Amino acid sequence: GSVQASLEAVVVKQLRADGSKLNSAGREDMDVRMLGGGRPFILEVHNPRAALPTAEECTAMEAELEAADDGSVTARGIHVTDHDHYHAMHEGSAEKEKVYSAVCWSEKRLTAADVQMLNAVKNMVIQQATPVRGLHRR
């Protein structure tokens, strides 16, 4: 299932809501796994009929989410927020500097001088074309 479906199974149920919309900082392709500490997100809950959750209930939702689906989707620091945080989250993601690593291969055997030259490269600017499958998000 999707990250949104996993979150909804816990949060929408807890708040007795009609549904939700997942808003995240940045994006991931469907076939890319999120590694590291994850990314900030806001789950916009539609028509909740339960009272706003307490800090203890938010902690319980985190535990329930981690216990579901072998912990494939987890969330830390679940809390109630407002619309100002939504805007701040998206402003921050546009300014985020990204760090990538890559596995490269060469048709020729690299010499020690070649490796030294490659290791000396710092702050490389990569010009990346948006894949056709991602154009609908631009």
**Residues classed as catalytic:** 29
Contact 12, 44 (CB under 8 A): no
In one letter, which amino acid is 27? R
CB atoms within 10 A of CB 7: 20
Distance CA(49)–CA(57), nearest Å, equals: 15
Residue 106's nearest CA partner among 116, 96, 114 is: 114
